[in-house]
Structure 1
Amino acid sequence: MERLVTASLEILEAEGPEALTVQAVVGRAGSSVGSFYARFGGKDDLLLYLSDRVWREALERWQQARASRDWSGLELPRLVESVVGLIVDVGQSSAGFLNALDRMPGGRSDAAETFEAEVLTSSTELLLARRDELRHPDPEMAVSLGLRAVAGVAAANGRGLGLERDRLIREGADLLMGYLVGRAPADGDEDRESVDFFDVWG
């Protein structure tokens, strides 16, 4: 079973989902077609299993990473950087697998939705515990939107943006920190539309 799974993930990462055939999997795994069909009904069943497994393992890594340190003693900039680092790192080892699986029709499993919800929920909790340090007038909305923006940048990097890990974390942390602690235009501000886009938080 593990040889089939390992071979499948290697093919997905190296060649993409189109190359994932039963013959390719059993050939790489040194197994047999009969052994494959004893475990999976076909390619679609294999893809669903892989998607569920990879996302569940990503969730376990996230939970372990979050539980591995005391977050309360961090200064806000360091907390933001650490949260961004977790978002970048948690799926890094499986990024190729996840991107390939998500491109397949029906490849996105319930485990993927569970993972994303847990990452956003736990990250939101960490940041909103410091709401007295956030200058955005709507901390809940800002944290939710900011985290989704960072996750989007991290996903784009996996699809070809190509930033090195440390720079991606630094840029993502700068983006999120600037949004959370900057100054938003007040409601009814007559100059709201004239604020320069790149200095929107002042």
Structure 2
Amino acid sequence: MIRVKKSYPEVFNEKVNPRSEMVNGTLLTDQHGKCYLCERVTTTDYEVEHRMARKDYEELKCEWSNLLLACSYCNRKKGNRYNDIINPLLINVEDKLKQEIDFGNKQMVFSIVGNNSSPELCATIRLLEELFNGKNGLRKIREERFFEYALRKLKEFQSVVVNYIKEPSDEHANEVRVLLDIKEEFLGLKYWIIKTNPMLEREFGEDIIWNKVR
């Protein structure tokens, strides 16, 4: 999960219809077709998600600032139980939450950076853990398939990174940069692979800024 950049067309200054083609198209473009929670590229399974659930915040159901693109898997998992997660439109999520993969134990590990254990960050971690690891670390079939897809993608990225470390050529650097493009998946997890290695951060630090306000 990383910060999301959202455009604000003048026509969206007032209430919008979450089902409209314009809303759907703008979200798809803004988020490069990716779910804002898991960062997978959606195909036809995308949904317009209300960050603050319609059930609890009826007044926000047509507010453009409350609408985000999510995949059906994440939207159903989140439901109306996680109104208190951090707002990815305002916060550099990848700087606030350390996002790692424990290959040995086949688990995603999320932790708060620094001492700021706000309720919003804690809620976000609980949601991400449920998405990737299932409840109490136990994954059902759908969750296991979801995790295996993420694991495969991150292993591919790790392999490319290792090639660069062994031989830091322009060719290998470009292969890493391709997988760090804003349109690619699982950038929050890739961010911390780069961030925790001084050699990689020196070379690719400018490639992991993405949607941050500069």
Q: Normalising by structure 2, what TM-score?
A: 0.23
Q: Which has the larger radius of gyration?
A: 1
Question: Comparing both structures, which one devotes a greater share of its residues to helix?
Answer: 1
Question: Comparing both structures, which one devotes a greater share of its residues to strand?
Answer: 2
Q: Normalising by structure 1, what TM-score?
A: 0.24
